[in-house]
Structure 1
Amino acid sequence: MDSEEFFRYADQHTTPEPPLLARLNRETHVQTLMPRMLSGHAQGRLLSMLSHMVRPRRVLELGTFTGYAALCLAEGLADDGELHTIEFNPELESRIRRYVAEAGLTGQLHLHIGAAAEIVPRLRETWDLVFIDADKINNDTYYELVLPQVRTGGFLLIDNVLWGGKVVESYPIKSSDKDTYAVRAFNDKVHADPRVENVFLPLRDGLLLVRKL
């Protein structure tokens, strides 16, 4: 079975995405230049499942894009839970807010537009669950920024840790390929970090699941 058949079979045996998310998924692919940044069906259902398992009161997402992953994570929020999501690109704001409103989450899902490194220190919260899906070259910066704010036993999820498979290629990384170098170095760092335990999930483009000790 080739990889495409594998993922197609997995999708066929994963609970379908809700209609609102299916519409957002389609709209993202039709109307944005980089639709591959969307978490998508299988990963979205995993994010929802993990959120339901944790039942978080406070969730932080770095890198909203069109809002798909944020809506998935919000599905498992505790009754008094809130989700803060940070997006750098202001052109995406209206679409995100429209879907948040349609999902009935305006009071629980808070969108911040700007640089995560500037916004996170202003959010004086203790996080139960953090999803990092922003610019990969700054994964380490974001990790060190949010880890002190995550409660003991809380979770971090970091997306795109396979980076198109480049991190497992045996030949030396070109000095110009700074993203691949950064992702590989970050993966190695987390794996050796005594503050956490981690599981590397080869789902989609790789998802690193981390628990703070």
Structure 2
Amino acid sequence: MADGLLRIDVAAHRVWVGGVPVRVSRMRFRVLVFLAHHAGEAVTREQLFEYAWGDEWYPRASRTIDQHICHIRRLLGSAAECIAGVRGIGYRLEAEALADPVTAPPATPTIHGLAETLRDTVAGLDGHIERRAQQIADPLIEEARRAADERVAAAERELANVRQRGEDLAAEFRRQLVALERQLDRRKGTPDAPAHPAGEVTHA
């Protein structure tokens, strides 16, 4: 096989073999482009399927890939041998077969890939929401804590005032009790007054 026999124009969706244009279906073109993009490398059937079909791999897809490779080889004619099978892996397109390097366009997202992207997006949103909620909650929590501290301090002050008033009342009660006891003691120490004043004479 001559070097540079295969030429691929990705933008124009065209293929030439030895300067002769070859018509290739959309799916087979994507398979060929992916092989050309990884020219000289072994590419798995799973990679080819997910790139070309944009779907999640399943075991029976292996036969689909093999059938499309067979058709592509048939279309390439004299350049068919540039696509070699790699036992236990998949296929390889020989780099020297390409006239120019090929860059594959982005792959069609697979359902699995979309699901992963969605999960990542949701996880990112969850993280953003959690951080934003924390930013909103932190000042509110701090304000509530300060308010609670102020209420506790006010309650403690009121309790101290009540305790002081109680102590003041108790002290006053003790003072009054002491004063009362003194009055009683003074009364006990005073002799009883006589029935008649001294010097007074009583007459029968």
Structure with greater helix percent: 2
TM above 0.5: no
TM-score (norm. length: structure 2): 0.25
TM-score (norm. length: structure 1): 0.25
> Of the two structures, which has the highest relative contact order with CA contacts closer than 8 Å and spacing of 6 or more?
2
